[in-house]
């Protein structure tokens, strides 16, 4: 089969593509490079309005005339690529807004790609109407909207994804759901809002290519190294402020036993390199499941503080603190977990081994590709 994968978050579609190729299929990824992360794609859709006079001109026209040069340019790029983006058996979109365009243009691009190809599917991976609505209605114990509810982030902060609740984005969501053969959730944070939806085809975990990620047994020769990666744009949404408060406390108590490395908004390849020295990685707070940074760190054998809620434990039939550490939105609880690990380094070794085994078993890129193929083949055309 020929599969067109539209859009990219971290390396979700890249690893899926590699799994599909391993199984003898043809696949191509077209999309943006996920902002500062600079993720590799086969065909890059360029954002020519990120700096200088072009950026100022874009926002002036948008404010005065409601004309978005970026969105129009993306559509033009897609049209010019028609011969490269047509004739696929399957087209899967990474998100309801795969190109981060204005809803009207996003809909037009979506329709073009659906019309040029076979069955269409949506991956719920990143904020979208369904997941944001579920969080906004406080159906999670805590969520990426918790900092907003607590008054630490304004409504217009784009990282919250509240734009998806606006009428124009809701209309885009409804249009997409009419045309797709189904939607696939990528982890528990998207599975829970979608599980009862008639278009939901189930959860297929984030694919990880463990063939290219080398497991590194933890070697603790002197101090335990803790890595805290900050994405400044998502600082509160990821709970980086919670981690920083916990680290300030733990450093006062155990300065002689730990080294803390803090990095900020690094491109993907540079960020991955920072994993090398770390034993513990502080990933994110407001999630029930792991995203790509956490999973790649776990595949390397790092002990990760991330989403590992009871719902996740139940889904994968795991015991608490055996594969990953659930990072709760309370600095004191994070301090307790860090202290436990610092004082019992043998536990770090056990979690490291278990983390790698878990990623290989549940997130292997070929297995995820096989599951995707099965879902695509069995789904009825819209």
61 in the same domain as 161: yes
Instruction: Answer whether residue 160 is part of any domain.
Output: yes
Q: List the structure tokens of 356.
A: 């790698």
Specify whether 190 is located in the same domain as 299: no
Per the structure, the count of domains in the chain is 2
Contact residues for 377 (Cβ-Cβ < 8 A; gap 6+): none
* Pair 168, 271 in one domain: no
Alpha carbon distance 96, 71 (integer Å): 15
**Residue 34 domain flag:** yes
Say how far residue 91 (Cα) sits from the centre of its chain.
19
Q: Which residue has the higher pLDDT, 154 or 110?
A: 110
- CB burial of 323-361 (b: ≥16 within 10 Å; e: otherwise) equals bbbbbbbebeebbebbeebbeeeeebbebbebbbebbbe
Are 6 and 70 found together in one domain?
yes
Q: Same domain, yes or no, for 146 and 37?
A: yes
The answer as to whether 304 is a domain residue is yes
Regarding whether 182 and 44 lie in a shared domain, the answer is: yes
In a domain, 219, yes or no: no
The answer to whether 140 touches 110, Cβ cutoff 8 Å, is no
Q: What is the pLDDT of residues 137-171, one digit of tens each?
A: 999 999 999 999 999 888 888 788 999 999 999 99
List the CATH number of the domain containing 127.
3.40.50
**37 pLDDT tier (thresholds 50, 70, 90):** low
b/e string for 169-191 if b means 16 or more Cβ within 10 A? Answer: beebbebbbeebbbbbbbbbbbb
Average pLDDT over residues 344-351: 96
Q: What is the distance between the alpha carbons of residues 131 and 191, in angstroms, rounded to a whole number?
A: 9
Which residue intervals of the chain are DSSP H helices? 12-22, 52-65, 69-80, 103-115, 129-136, 146-149, 167-179, 188-194, 240-254, 268-274, 292-300, 310-316, 331-343, 345-362, 365-378
Percentage with pLDDT > 70 across the chain: 99
The CATH number linked to 289 is 3.40.50.2000
Mean per-residue pLDDT over the chain, rounded: 94
Same domain, 368 and 358: no
Q: In which domain, by residue range, is 129 found? A: 2-207+364-378
Domain-located, residue 140: yes
In a domain, 144, yes or no: yes
Q: Could you tell me if residue 340 is inside a domain?
A: yes
26: in domain: yes
């Amino acid at each position: 089969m020929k599969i067109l994968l539209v859009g990219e978050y971290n390396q979700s579609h890249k690893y899926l593509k590699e799994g599909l190729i391993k199984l003898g299929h043809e696949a191509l990824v077209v999309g943006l490079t996920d902002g500062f992360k600079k993720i590799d794609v086969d065909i890059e859709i360029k954002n020519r309005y990120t700096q200088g006079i072009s950026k100022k001109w874009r926002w002036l026209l948008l404010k005065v005339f409601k004309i978005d040069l970026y969105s129009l340019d993306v559509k033009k790029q897609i049209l010019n690529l028609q011969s490269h983006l047509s004739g696929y058996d399957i087209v899967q979109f990474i998100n309801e807004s795969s190109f981060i365009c204005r809803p009207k243009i996003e809909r037009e691009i979506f329709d073009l790609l659906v019309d040029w190809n076979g069955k269409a599917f949506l991956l719920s991976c990143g904020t979208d109407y369904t997941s944001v609505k579920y969080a906004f209605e406080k159906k999670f114990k805590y969520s990426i909207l918790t900092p907003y509810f607590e008054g630490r982030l304004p409504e217009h902060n784009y990282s919250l994804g509240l734009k998806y609740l606006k009428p124009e984005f809701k209309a885009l969501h409804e249009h997409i759901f009419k045309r797709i053969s189904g939607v696939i959730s990528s982890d528990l944070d998207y599975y829970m809002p979608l599980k009862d939806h008639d278009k939901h085809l189930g959860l297929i975990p984030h694919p990880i290519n463990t063939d290219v990620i080398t497991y590194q047994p933890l070697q603790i020769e002197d101090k335990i190294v803790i890595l805290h990666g900050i994405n400044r744009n998502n600082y509160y949404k990821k709970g980086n402020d919670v981690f920083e408060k916990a680290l300030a406390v733990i450093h006062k108590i155990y300065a002689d036993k730990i080294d803390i490395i803090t990095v900020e908004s690094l491109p993907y390849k540079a960020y991955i390199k920072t994993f090398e020295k770390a034993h513990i990685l502080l990933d994110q707070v407001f999630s029930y499941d792991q995203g790509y940074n956490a999973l790649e760190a776990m595949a390397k054998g790092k002990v990760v503080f991330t989403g590992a809620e009871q719902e996740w434990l139940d889904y994968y039939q795991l015991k608490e603190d055996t594969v990953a550490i659930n990072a709760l939105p309370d600095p004191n609880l994070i301090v307790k977990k860090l202290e436990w690990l610092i004082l019992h380094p043998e536990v770090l070794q056990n979690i490291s081994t278990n983390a790698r085994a878990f990623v290989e078993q549940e997130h292997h890129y070929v297995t995820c590709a096989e599951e995707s193929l099965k879902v695509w083949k069995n789904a009825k055309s819209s």
